[in-house]
């Protein structure tokens, strides 16, 4: 178990590493072109920027917590440890990055066994660093953040992520989206799950749902939401949202309303 003092120091150093990776990403975006794009699968894009940013992050994190293993999107290091593991998305929002849409981020979480104890999400374009550690509250650029106080879905704005390569459940997804759009202020698709979660945490949107996500997409952001006073579950209302590939994050007050719509659509 990591002491509060050591976890606080790790959080501070992780913020610095995320910002360093973000600076590299920002610089590369200035002269990036589509010739540098690779395809991991249908509509699953990657570039040297993702890979080099991940190498930088893994190298730096290895030095501040040598006993920890890694879960990484680009496979720089896939050696998992029994107790501590870093969960890294070096560039969440790669498609946005490639097309020059200014919403993408660096996401880094630290898990102690099955629990996320530290999370940092650095949104590169707005220089917004969201972060939290277990039991310590959630912050953006040193300012405490809280979820929205909206009490109903009818007073809420919802974020989501569109299916882009696995369309097996698209009809269920569209049914859920249709219902939520009719019941709320509307839906937004920003293109980065980690950013979506931080927007829930900071009260910019009241809820976020998506399926077919990976652990590195959500690990950091879920802790930030919970430490900001929000609620996170999978579509069944359980807590299998890190590895379960379904997530609903809200300000807690509208959670059951959205969950009911999702469960109807997914039935």
Q: Which residue has the tokens 């190498």?
A: 55
> How far is it between the farthest Cα atoms of the chain?
50
Binding site members for Mg(2+): 73, 89, 91-92, 217
| H-helix or E-strand spanning residue 195 | helix 193-201
Binding site members: 73, 89, 91-92, 217
Contacts for 195 with CB less than 8 Å, ≥ 6 apart: 92, 93, 103, 104, 105, 121, 123, 221
| H-helix or E-strand spanning residue 38 | strand 37-41
Q: Starting from the edge strand earliest in sequence, which strands make up the sheet with 138-140, in order?
A: 69-72, 84-92, 105-112, 115-123, 128-133, 138-140, 143-144
Exposed e or buried b per residue across 32-41, where buried means at least 16 C-beta atoms within 10 angstroms of its C-beta: beeeebeeee
Output the six-digit token pair for 84.
Answer: 């501590």
Alpha-carbon distance of 216 to 213, in angstroms, equals 8
């Amino acid at each position: 178990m990591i002491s509060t003092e050591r976890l606080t120091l790790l959080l501070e150093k992780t913020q610095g590493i995320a910002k360093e990776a973000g600076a590299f990403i920002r610089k590369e975006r200035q002269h990036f072109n589509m010739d540098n794009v690779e395809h991991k699968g249908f509509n699953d894009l990657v570039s040297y920027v993702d890979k080099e940013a991940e190498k930088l992050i893994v190298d730096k994190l290895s030095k501040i917590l040598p006993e920890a293993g890694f879960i990484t999107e680009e496979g720089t290091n896939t050696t998992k440890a029994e107790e501590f593991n870093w969960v890294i998305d070096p560039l969440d929002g790669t498609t946005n990055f490639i097309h020059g849409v200014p919403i993408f981020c660096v996401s880094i979480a630290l898990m102690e066994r099955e629990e996320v104890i530290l999370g940092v999400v650095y949104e590169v374009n707005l220089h917004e660093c969201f972060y939290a550690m277990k039991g310590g509250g959630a912050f953006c650029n040193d300012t405490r953040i809280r979820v929205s106080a909206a009490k109903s879905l009818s007073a809420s704005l919802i974020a989501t992520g569109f299916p882009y390569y696995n369309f097996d459940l698209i009809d269920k997804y569209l049914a859920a989206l249709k219902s939520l759009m009719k019941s709320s202020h509307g839906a937004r698709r920003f293109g980065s799950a980690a950013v979506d979660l931080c927007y829930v945490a900071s009260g910019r949107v009241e809820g976020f749902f998506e399926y077919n996500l990976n652990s590195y997409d959500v690990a950091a952001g879920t802790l930030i939401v919970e430490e900001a006073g929000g609620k996170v579950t999978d579509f069944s209302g359980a807590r299998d949202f890190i590895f379960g590939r379904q997530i609903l994050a809200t300000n807690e007050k509208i959670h059951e309303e959205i969950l009911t719509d999702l469960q109807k659509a997914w039935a």
